[in-house]
Amino acid sequence: MSSLRKTYLFYVFPVCLLLLLSGCSSEETKKVDATPKEVTLTFWFDDAGPLRNAIWEEMIAAFEEEYPHIHIEYKGFVKNIAKAKFNSALAMQSLPDVGSIYTSWLPEYTYREALVPLDSYFENWAEGDKIAPSVINYNRHLTQDQKLYGLPYTRNMDVLWVRKDWLADYGLETIETWDDFFHTVETFTDKAQQQYGYSIRGGEGSSLQLQRMMYAYSGISTYIENGESTIDDPRHVEFLEKYLSLYGLHTSQNDIVKDYKGMLDDFEHGAVGLIQHNIGSYAQHQKVLSSDQFESLPLPKSVDGHYTVEAGNTMDMVMFEGTKHPKEAWTFISFIASQKGQSQWNKRVGQLPTHQEVLQEDWVQNSPHLQTALSVYENPQTKMYEPPFYLIGYNSIRYTIVEPGLQEVLSGTKTIEQFLEDWSEAIENEYDQYENFMPKHRSAE
């Protein structure tokens, strides 16, 4: 063995080996360091039920498979207690990391500094430009600082759900006008058979549905004008005189306390031939009725001849202040709002995605009830009215004045004029307080 080779074997090789091992060790260290830290996020949902809980379990399982270092602890609340749960958690400073909330909650929670702005995350997200600009802009428009606090992942709309087989049995074609609507309700009613033409939701949640019907009829697209609410507009009085006269005559007396579950149950089991509810109830209907038994129709055009629908009828993924894992929280939020996430969630629930590429998928193109909603949203003549979600007391007015007030009208202890006057006055008082407290805002009104 040459002296040079000996030198190599005894000195150079061990050094190289050490360097190599050191390098391997360094690489191993890097790999260990690069391993994502395991994180658990809490996630609350504001509109839970057996079907939607099951869907979230599937969604979370898919997310955890793709991001095994992030574990999601899910908690769903039924709609009528969800707000109280979130509010209580806010008061106790125990909010979850991530939530799904209604768009109407955004102004209140941003005012209470409960939400993290998502703008910086959204602007760097590869799919950000795929989300409908209209819903992003609307969410920004809702808050005082015009930042994005909620990422909309699903969109809704109230429609008429009608028994298609009943239309055929009674020789009726469809419902296009308000005259068609009232004629169909009367024609469907057969009290001897305990069959009613319509169901008026008089119980929990009645206020939003009633408001959507009123503005659909009147065609009014301005909710507050020069500080005055349009709630008590004569066209709304005219509509409610016709609409609420159906109660007891072409509806069940029990409608005065009926919530959406009771309403849907009557429709699906043949007690009622026509209801007003959102497109999201499709998933429930199709479990009981066959596709040739029911269909969705738009709320009729207004007396002015155009569709009028509520703006901001979306649900949003939000990040709550106090989360210790904002990066992982955004990973989950963006997963739900992505093409993959929106396609899975909206397909199962039966609502409209906000992701433009999901809207082009076959299941959307071949869903009649989604096409019904799109035909209204995409109609160039359609007008949108904007409820004043920014008024902190807006939801409280719904629960404490509108819903009990409607029951008083149905029970005959209050006139329609007084009901609308009370409702309108409450909105105007709340608006005055808002104007005085927050003078900087909204030129739109």
pLDDT tens per residue, range 260-302:
899 999 999 999 999 999 999 998 899 999 999 999 999 999 9
CA dihedral of 270, 274, 280, 283, whole degrees rounded to 10: 20
390-442 tens-digit pLDDT: 998 998 999 999 999 999 999 999 999 999 999 999 999 999 999 887 755 54
What is the token pair recorded at 69? 């270092």
Q: Would you give the end-to-end CA distance of the chain in angstroms?
A: 96
User: Do 196 and 166 contact (CB within 8 A), yes or no?
Assistant: no
Burial 68-106 (b: 16+ CB within 10 A, else e): eebebebebbeeeebbeebbebbeeeebbbbbbbbbbbb
- The pLDDT assigned to 22 comes to 45
273/286 Cα distance (integer angstroms): 15
Pick the closest to residue 388 from 239, 222, 210 (CA basis): 222
pLDDT (0 to 100) of residue 31: 47
Return d(Cα 207, Cα 213) in angstroms, integer.
Answer: 10
What lies within 8 Å, CB to CB, of 403 at 6+ separation is 203, 204, 205, 206, 207
What span, in angstroms and rounded, lies between the C-alpha atoms of 156 and 162? Answer: 18
Percent of the chain with pLDDT over 90: 85
Structure tokens at 34: 């690069």
Structural element, H or E, at residue 309: strand 308-310
Confidence of residue 320 (pLDDT cuts 50, 70, 90): very high
Let me know how many helices (H) and strands (E) the chain has, helices first: 20, 12
Check: CB of residue 188 under 8 Å from CB of residue 274: yes
Interval 9-26: pLDDT, tens: 444 444 444 444 444 444
> Which residues are CB-neighbours of 211 under 8 A, at least 6 positions away?
310, 387, 402
Residue 79 has a pLDDT of 86
pTM score, whole prediction: 0.85
Model confidence at 444, pLDDT cuts 50, 70, 90, reads: very low
Per-residue confidence (pLDDT) for residue 26, from 0 to 100: 47
DSSP codes of every residue in 374-407 = HHHHT-TT-EEE---TTSTTHHHHIIIIIHHHHH
pLDDT score, position 25: 46
Please give the pLDDT value at position 324: 97
As given in the structure block, the two tokens for residue 357 are 């590429």
User: What is the reported pLDDT for 439?
Assistant: 55
- What would the pLDDT profile of 349-395 be if each residue is shown by its tens digit? 999 999 999 999 999 999 999 999 999 999 999 999 999 999 989 98
Read off φ and ψ for residue 407, nearest 5 degrees.
Answer: -65, -35
pLDDT at residue number 269: 95
Is 111 buried (19+), middle (13-18) or exposed (0-12) by CB count in 10 A? middle
pLDDT tens for each residue of 35-68: 788 999 999 999 999 989 999 999 999 999 999 9
Nearest to 210 by CA among 247, 163, 248, 252: 247
Alpha helices (H) along 49-192: 50-66, 79-91, 106-111, 119-123, 133-142, 164-169, 178-188
pLDDT tens digit string along 128-154?
Answer: 999 999 999 999 999 989 999 999 999
Question: Where does the pLDDT of residue 198 fall: very low under 50, low under 70, confident under 90, or very high at 90 and above?
Answer: very high
Most distant CA pair in the chain, distance = 115
420 by Cβ neighbours in 10 Å (0-12 / 13-18 / 19+) ranks as: buried
Q: Between the CA of residue 291 and those of 110, 172, 262, 377, 440, what are the distances in Å?
A: 42, 18, 21, 23, 51
User: What's the pLDDT score for residue 436?
Assistant: 87
Residue located via tokens 């409610």? 240
Give 168-182 pLDDT, tens digit per residue: 999 999 999 999 999
CB 239 within 8 Å of CB 217:
yes
